[in-house]
Amino acid sequence: MSRSLRIAVYPGDGIGPEVTAQAVRVLLGLAQNSDVTFALTELPWGINYWKQHGRVVPDDFLEVLRPFDAILLGAVGWPELLPDYETLAPLVQIRQTFDQYACVRPAKLYPGLKSVLAGKGPADIDIVVIRENSEGEYVDNGGRLKRGTPDEVAIQTALHTRRGIERILRYGFALARKRRKKLTMATKSNAQRYAYGLWDEVLAELAPQFPDVESERQHCDALVMNFVRWPERFDVVVASNLFGDLLTDLGGVLGGGLGLAPSTNTNPERSFPSMFEPVHGSAPDIAGKGIANPIAAILSVSMMLDHLELPSLAERVRKAVEKTLSGGAKTPDLGGKLTTEQVGDAVLANL
Ligand code: IPM
Ligand code: MN
């Protein structure tokens, strides 16, 4: 049966367009000799759009995105020109409006790469962080009073719901079942008794429903330490929005570098399109130099293919990346000399 899938491509700012171009080449390369076609629509949003229109996305951007089967995002942000909270707002709005509550971020060290951790190899580093992506500290909920005065007050209140916690934990348990059957939940109930008290309770309620999965919780301060000391003890880690944000930058470097770390923003019910993006940002300092690592964007394509129920294509991408990296084709962030495009060439050749 042949399928045609509509993909919105939102390259964004900085190195976003450079890495996305390689991810798109890989996607189109896969479609050759297969019965799947990808209809790509490129959305020229971001800082250049802002220069012309005074905003980074059009007013109806959510309506524009809604009909697509998936969204492939590069990176957004150019802090020299526009404050991050303005350029990044659409990203968070996409996640929340499309109820992309499961942000899946693997931290996996591929053979041929070195982790920042001495003495730890690919057998030790294979973690998936499931970040709650729809609420927590990222709800737009707060305000500032007495601006600019010595009495200024800022309030930003996080929001945690039983429903939100339960669904992300269920998602984590289901994934742990398919992996090494261990789930660690990040908490901080020793200091934040309302929010993380609820997280702890929901975990305790759900755990008996997954007797085949070993579950535990760790306070997030200890958890970051343990990520570094004993990465091999972690399989699936479920975390609230902000904790998940922090843990996945750390996970990225444990897995060989942020240039390698992919991410989903998944709406598991498929009521809305899901979005796929590298964990790294727009990196303005190296933008336009052609040296950004495209692997994170390419691996994000493999996660998109899994979501689109094309697992054999997804696996081909992962295998091609594995072969590329173990063959020594690397950009400068990994100690190599290749350009973004040359690494893209290598992945395509290995497909
Ligand atoms: C990420 C990023 C975003 C986040 C920023 C760009 C808003 O750091 O995807 O991890 O904090 O979620
Ligand atoms: Mn982040």
The two structure tokens encoding residue 212? 């085949």
pLDDT-derived band at 276 (thresholds 50, 70, 90) equals very high
In the prediction, which pLDDT does 2 show? 80
Of residues 101, 138, 171, 196, which has the active-site annotation? 138
Cα–ligand 2 centroid distance for 111 (angstroms): 25
What distance in Å separates the CA atoms of residue 183 and residue 55, rounded to the nearest whole number?
41
Minimal-distance CA residue to ligand 1 atom 8: 245
Q: Judge whether 306 counts as a catalytic residue.
A: no
Question: Of all atoms in ligand 1, which is nearest to the CA of residue 77?
Answer: 6
Give 117-130 as a 3 state SS string: CCCCCCCCCEEEEE
Contact 279, 296 (CB under 8 A): yes
With 90 as the cut, is the pLDDT of residue 189 above it? yes
Residue located nearest, by CA, to atom 10 of ligand 1: 245
Catalytic one of 126, 200, 249, 345 = 249
What is the structure's pLDDT at 184? 99
Cα of 133 from ligand 1 centre, angstroms: 10
What is the distance of C-alpha 267 from the center of its chain? 13
Of 91, 243, 264, 277, best ligand 1 pocket probe by most atoms within 8 Å of the beta carbon: 91
Candidate list 85, 221, 289, 319, residue with the active-site label: 221
pTM: 0.97
Q: pLDDT above 90 covers what percent of the chain?
A: 97
How far, in Å, is the centroid of ligand 1 from the Cα of 161?
Answer: 21
Q: How does the average pLDDT of the chain come out, rounded?
A: 97
Is 110 part of the annotated catalytic residue set?
no
Q: Which residues contact 43 (CB under 8 A, 6 or more apart)?
A: 8, 9, 10, 61, 64, 65
In angstroms, rounded to a whole number, what is the distance separating the alpha carbons of residues 81 and 262? 27
Q: Mean per-residue pLDDT for 40-53?
A: 97
Over residues 145-171, the mean pLDDT reads 98
Active site residue 101: no
Region 309-332: what's the mean pLDDT?
Answer: 97
**Known catalytic membership, residue 221:** yes
Q: What percent of the chain has pLDDT over 70?
A: 100
Across 141-162, b (16+ Cβ under 10 Å) vs e yields: eeeeeeeeeeeeeeeeebebee
Three-state DSSP class for residue 185: strand
Please state the rounded mean pLDDT for residues 213-238. Answer: 98
What's the token pair of residue 51? Answer: 């220069």
Q: What is the mean pLDDT of residues 30-46?
A: 95
Query: Using an 8 Å Cβ cutoff, are 245 and 193 in contact?
Result: no
**Among this protein's residues, is 188 annotated catalytic?**
yes
pLDDT at 1 over 70: no
Distance 281 CA to ligand 2 centre (A): 8
From the list 108, 188, 323, 330, the catalytic residue is 188
